[in-house]
Structure 1
Amino acid sequence: MFGFSKGKDIITLFHKAASPSSVKVANMLKQASIAAAESASKPEFELNITEDTPTADQISTILSYVGDKGASSVVQNATSANEALKKFKENVSYFQRPLVVDWNNGKVVPGENESEILKMIDALPKN
């Protein structure tokens, strides 16, 4: 039986270079990515750091991961995922950074919660 190895999981940081907390998260993720690449026991992942605003499809996906309870952590002052999407479409500046997204496993960590980000990375399946 032939097995195909799956590609690396993709972790995206929606980054804001002017934000000290975002810079801290970016540096921590870079270090975690290097450590994973050098270790046989840690799952490697593809790190994508972007200052671009998410697309409407990406924001919809992110909101599906966090649900109504997490909507305000993604879009400022939103009380539900639907309201968050509406606010985002009206004004993308409501989008909150830093925001780390594990696209393959449907997880999101808003802000600079280092322990939650590391927990997300440690939970990645091994390639």
Structure 2
Amino acid sequence: MLPTATRMSLFKNLFKEAGVKDVITLFHAPSVPASMRAHAILKQAAATAQSSATEDQASDHDNQSRLQRTDFNLAPELYRSDSADISNLDVQETPPTPDQLTSILDYLGPSKAGTVVEEATGTSDALRKFNAKQQAFQRPVTVDWNNGRAVVGDDESELMRLVRTLPKETDQV
């Protein structure tokens, strides 16, 4: 009999709901140029992930051989545009909840609190300032909730690293 963790992983893979995918959230402000750049980078990554996931089976398999996240896309019910059906980037123009902010600060570490909440010197200071004034939250912040990672700003290499990080269950393949 297989170990419990292996059985559970197998069970999840066999019976997981169609359409349930990793969620990446972009806390976005259309008026902030860096946020618009981050959004464009993530939209491009979603389009690339979709196209590489459906490559012709007779084609070069080098791209398919590399393990990478291929089910990353933009959630159509949360984001509407003229582009094709792109679904699992959750684009939020509202600030995170206090619980979400706590998770984001945990992912980034206390030294990055000032990059997430204006003039914060640490995690508790960031939470205090955020609770007093939610507009102190700095956008863009991109969060991979399943892998416990976050990126502040529009650094393309950091955003692509976050997007390409394999879901935790796949890491052990």
The percentage of aligned residue pairs carrying the same residue is 43
**C-alpha deviation, 1:65, in angstroms:** 1.2
1:124 is matched with which residue?
166
Report the residue type matching 1:56 in the other structure: P
1:116, 1:109 → 2: CA distance?
7
Greater gyration radius? 2
Aligned residues, how many? 127
The partner residue of 2:145 within 85, 88, 103 is: 103
1:91, 1:97 → 2: CA distance?
14
2:12 is matched with which residue?
4
Report the residue type matching 1:58 in the other structure: Q
2:49, 2:143 → 1: CA distance?
17
Is 1:58–2:71 an aligned residue pair? no
The partner residue of 2:130 within 74, 88, 94 is: 88
**C-alpha deviation, 1:3, in angstroms:** 3.6
Q: TM-score, normalised by structure 2?
A: 0.68
Unaligned runs of 5+ in 2: 1-6, 54-63, 73-87
1:36, 1:120 → 2: CA distance?
13
The partner residue of 1:28 within 41, 44, 53 is: 41
Is 1:17–2:30 an aligned residue pair? yes
Q: Give the aligned CA root-mean-square deviation in angstroms.
A: 1.8
Is 1:47–2:89 an aligned residue pair? yes
Unaligned runs of 5+ in 1: none
Deviates more, 1:81-90 or 1:33-42: 33-42
Report the residue type matching 1:20 in the other structure: P
2:49, 2:11 → 1: CA distance?
23
Q: TM-score, normalised by structure 1?
A: 0.91
Task: Name the structure where strand makes up a greater proportion of residues.
Answer: 1
1:124, 1:98 → 2: CA distance?
22
**RCO greater where, 1 or 2, for CA within 8 Å and sep 6 or more?**
1
* 1:99-122 CA-partner distances (Å, limit 9, x unpaired): 111111111100111110101111
**C-alpha deviation, 1:13, in angstroms:** 0.5
2:26 alignment partner, SS class:
strand
Asked if 2 retains the 8 angstrom alpha-carbon contact of 1:9 and 1:124, the reply is no
